[in-house]
């Protein structure tokens, strides 16, 4: 898994590549949490994520909770059909806005 | 691939999760399973192996544990068996979130049992057996005529 974080005005963009499983989720969580206090809104680009387990969902949940208390928004970008299925199955799908591209996500702020 | 039996051993470490999923993906794809079925099997293998690695072996004090993956494909049924010698644990008896809990706002959600629930939902059949001192977690999917 590879994580890149870009800070923009009142917005952080997190670009993840690879798999988010219980081996990699800790690193993702640490990286995002280190930056999240600087922002009210998060764009999570998951278009290059091929696999996400419950450990990955746990990170999404944590990000959502942090941002929610600040009345901010979390937008997920480019999630695959399979990951969408997992999010539907677990009810997570209802809490995130989703777009196909980063450009579309930017328009939501 | 009409019929096949394969087996591979993995060190019970979180570093093995990716190679385990790759092994199952590759064999699933050779058997003609679709993307969704392969993803579901990888998810089940990942979630249950994570539990075995983090809780099963740890709680039995074994530091050099092994998880074997056995794959059997016959009569259009693709079966993945996870074998381990950790503390006996039947995930199918573990408590998983119910409909009401899944509908709760994310702020109020508890996360326990989610992985096992996801594993159950992701395959056609999930069975557990304890045999000859081994936990067997057995996932099956039916290859569809594509």
- Would you kindly state where each structural domain of chain B is located, as residue ranges? 4-142
Gap between the Cα atoms of B57 and B39, Å rounded: 26
Q: Which of B35, B53, B111, B113 to mutate to test the interface with A (most CBs of A within 10 A)?
A: B111
Give the whole-number percent of chain B exceeding pLDDT 90: 76
B146 pLDDT above the threshold of 60: no
Is the domain spanning A2-106 CATH 3.30.750.24? The answer is yes
Q: Hey, are the CB atoms on A57 and B114 less than 8 Å from each other? A: yes
Segment B41-56 shows an average pLDDT of 96
Considering the domain delimited by B4-142, tell me its CATH architecture: 2-Layer Sandwich (3.30)
Express each pLDDT in A97-108 by its tens digit: 999 999 999 999
- Would you kindly state where each structural domain of chain A is located, as residue ranges? 2-106
* Among candidates B14, B42, B106 on the partner chain, residue whose Cβ is nearest the Cβ of A23: B14
Q: Hey, are the CB atoms on B111 and A58 less than 8 Å from each other? A: yes
Do residues B22 and B69 make contact, with C-beta atoms less than 8 angstroms apart? no
Q: Hey, are the CB atoms on B21 and A51 less than 8 Å from each other? A: yes
pLDDT band at B95 (very low <50, low <70, confident <90, very high): confident
Edge-first strand listing for the sheet containing B77-84: B4-11, B66-74, B77-84, B134-142, B125-131
Do residues B43 and B118 make contact, with C-beta atoms less than 8 angstroms apart? yes
Could you tell me the two tokens for B13? Answer: 């470490």
């Amino acid at each position: 898994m590879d994580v890149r974080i870009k800070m923009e005005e009142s917005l952080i963009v997190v670009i993840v590549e690879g798999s988010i499983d219980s081996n990699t989720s800790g690193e993702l969580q640490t990286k995002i949490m280190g930056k999240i206090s600087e922002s009210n809104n998060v764009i999570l680009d998951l278009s290059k994520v091929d696999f996400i387990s419950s450990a990955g969902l746990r990170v999404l949940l944590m990000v959502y909770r942090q941002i929610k208390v600040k009345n901010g928004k979390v937008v997920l970008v480019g999630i695959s059909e399979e990951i969408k299925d997992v999010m539907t199955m677990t009810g997570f799908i209802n809490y995130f806005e989703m777009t196909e591209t980063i450009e579309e996500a930017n328009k939501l702020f | 691939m009409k019929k096949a039996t394969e087996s591979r051993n993995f060190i019970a470490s979180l570093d093995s999760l990716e190679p385990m999923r790759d092994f199952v993906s590759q064999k699933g794809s050779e058997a003609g399973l679709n993307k969704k079925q392969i993803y579901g099997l990888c998810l089940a293998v990942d979630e249950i192996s994570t539990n075995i690695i983090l809780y099963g072996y740890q709680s039995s004090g074994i530091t050099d544990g092994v998880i074997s993956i056995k794959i059997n494909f016959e009569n259009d049924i693709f079966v993945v068996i996870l074998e381990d010698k950790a503390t006996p644990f039947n995930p199918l008896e573990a408590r998983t979130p119910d409909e009401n809990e899944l509908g709760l706002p994310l702020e109020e959600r508890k996360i326990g049992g989610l992985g096992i629930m996801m594993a159950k939902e992701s395959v056609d059949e999930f069975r557990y057996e304890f045999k000859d001192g081994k936990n067997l977690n057995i996932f099956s999917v039916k290859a569809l005529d594509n």
